[in-house]
Amino acid sequence: MEIFKEIQPEEISENAFKLIGKDWMLVTSSADDKINTMTASWGGFGVLWGKNVAYIVVRPQRYTKEFIDKSGRFSLTFFNDSFRSKLSYLGTVSGRDEDKIKKSGLTVSENSEIPFFEEGKLAAICKVLYKQKLTPDSFLDSSIADRWYPDHDFHTLYVAEIEKVFVKSN
């Protein structure tokens, strides 16, 4: 049976550009005994303030944002290709409208206080250190703001310390 083992962020062997940008991830957070998750393909791993961090960007209308703002915590779960259609579903429907975790059939892991998914191959547990809503006048190339924010729904940037990383091992 495959179980999760904890590794250091420096031991993540997969390419972050592929993991996040191409294969996508689930951003999951819980508050008031409820859990919500959404698909994300923008974000990154890096180092800031002497800490290993992950950053994500979340639009104001996402239900998941309410959970992150309340708890200050989230997880990132990464999956193999066979979960692509589930990630599409979780990235299209809002948890405000459906019990999408239940409908997706994914299992919340008991490995951590911050929920992530048992079916994942890799998960990072994150604590928000900094958040800031992007502002139109901060874009040096205004065509990016025009292209991505025609409705002015600017993302909030979250920079979070990676507290734990879990990887599947046989």
Q: Which residue ranges make up the site for ligand FMN (CB under 6 A)?
A: 24, 36, 38-42, 57-59, 62-64, 88, 91-96
Query: Percentage helix, strand, coil, to 5, in the chain?
Result: 25, 40, 35
- We find the least distance from the C-beta atom of residue 3 to ligand FMN, in angstroms, to be 28
Q: Residue 162 is encoded by which pair of tokens?
A: 């990676």
Q: Which residue, 9 or 91, is less far from ligand FMN as judged by CB?
A: 91
Q: Which residue, 8 or 92, is less far from ligand FMN as judged by CB?
A: 92
- We find the least distance from the C-beta atom of residue 7 to ligand FMN, in angstroms, to be 24
Q: Which residue, 92 or 132, is less far from ligand FMN as judged by CB?
A: 92
- Number of residues assigned to the chain: 170
Q: Which residue, 101 or 165, is less far from ligand FMN as judged by CB?
A: 101
Pairing, β 122-133 against β 43-48 = unpaired
- We find the least distance from the C-beta atom of residue 5 to ligand FMN, in angstroms, to be 28
- We find the least distance from the C-beta atom of residue 126 to ligand FMN, in angstroms, to be 14
45: closest CA among 87, 23, 15, 67?
A: 15
Residue nearest to ligand FMN (CB): 91
Beta bridge partners of 131: 158
* Structure-derived torsion over alpha carbons of residues 160, 135, 70, 89, reported in degrees to the nearest 10: -80
Q: Residue 110 is encoded by which pair of tokens?
A: 């008991």
Q: Which residue, 94 or 112, is less far from ligand FMN as judged by CB?
A: 94
- We find the least distance from the C-beta atom of residue 156 to ligand FMN, in angstroms, to be 9
